[in-house]
Amino acid sequence: MTGKLLLFKNQVKGVVINTAENYSLFDGRLGLCLINYMSRQKDDDRLDSTTVAEEILNDVIDNLSGMETYTFSHGLLGFGWAIEWLHQNGFIEENTNEFLEELDDKIYQNIVNNEVTSYSLETGLIGALLYFYKRITTKSRGGFFYREVCLIECGNLLIDSLASYLRLKEQRNQQNLGEVYTSQKIRLLGQSLLILVKFYPLKINQEVVSKLICEILSKCKEIFKMDISARSLIIKDIIYLAHVCCIYAKNMNSTTWRNNINVFFEELQIHQNEVVYMDTESQYILSNYKLNLTRAKTQNLTVFEGLAYFDEISATKSWAEAWLLE
């Protein structure tokens, strides 16, 4: 084991302490489980890492009653996504159609019977869309046909709801003679764009998906035209939005948007002295574009930092999908 890896594994012990009574994906034991599964690809003692990961996963499953919310960051949606992710990456062998059947049904009933109160990845509709995207793309095939029909129907309903919400907001903004782009609005635009880009090749509700992508990109153009000084307080969210637009450009083969984003990051490099104390997510994004701005140091290692560490040495990079970073 290298000195760097040993140091990191000692830091992970801090995560264990901090997540003792927390079973969530974003900052709890479920996230720690993913770290341990990924670490076995580099750790000399692969059996030990796997055993620890399995013990944590069993502990999470035994305490699912503590995950009462239908949220992605801290609830059942994140749990379901993690199980499907572990299966698709070959870490567990369970047939997820059987394992997640009851959860699929509970989430469906929750969507049908309750009004949407949040649209974000972390606590709302986009988190549900990411869950269903992961389930629709499952590698488990046994008894999947009717299950797939239900999952696709959920995707359709949620995409329609997202479109109605975003267009209603646009109508209100026009009535108010303009739109103020807050951190929350920019983040939601980015999350919406990326989840729609993911659904596009699946040809689910494709007409609505295509139109909504175009409408969001129009908003993105307005945001990137903002003066650098006006963007300072929301720069981390604009960095996220630029990253999402870059993914769109790559997946949709858009030279125009690829050039637009290159210009943005070139400008960011020029003004980097004005952009300091980036959070962990922003630093992770910027590393993909060979930009390293000053980042505020965190006292304790987070689940995100743990997964990002193994991103450098592991073939398993799709963990970042949980934060809608890919």
**SS in 3 state form for 19-62?**
CCCCCCCCCCHHHHHHHHHHHCCCCCCHHHHHHHHHHHHHHHHH
Q: Do 31 and 309 meet the contact criterion of CB atoms below 8 Å apart? A: no
Side-chain-facing half-sphere of 121: CA atoms under 13 Å: 25
Residue 278's SS3 state is: strand
Domain membership flag for residue 174: no
Q: Is residue 1 part of a domain?
A: yes
pLDDT of the residue at 17: 46
The reply to whether 54 falls in a domain is yes
Is the residue at 158 inside a domain?
no
Provide the residue range defining the domain that includes 62: 1-68+300-326
- The dihedral region occupied by 226, where left means phi > 0, alpha psi between -120 and 50, and beta the remainder, is beta
**Using one digit for the tens of pLDDT, what is the confidence trace for 287-318?**
888 776 655 555 567 888 888 877 665 555 68
Residue 2 within a domain: yes
Which pLDDT score, from 0 to 100, does residue 291 have?
73
pLDDT of residue 139: 81
pLDDT of the residue at 181 = 87
Residues of the chain with pLDDT under 50: 1, 3-5, 7, 17
- For residue 280, the one-letter residue type is T
pLDDT value, residue 9: 56
Structural domain contains residue 36: yes
Would you say residue 103 lies in a domain?
Answer: no
Answer whether residue 42 is part of any domain: yes
1, 28, 140, 317, 322 from 61: Cα distances, Å: 31, 13, 20, 24, 19
Which strand (E) or helix (H) includes residue 222? helix 206-224
Residue 41 confidence (pLDDT): 63
Report how many domains make up the chain. Answer: 1
The pLDDT score that the predictor gives to residue 320 is 93
**Residue matched to tokens 């809608």:** 324
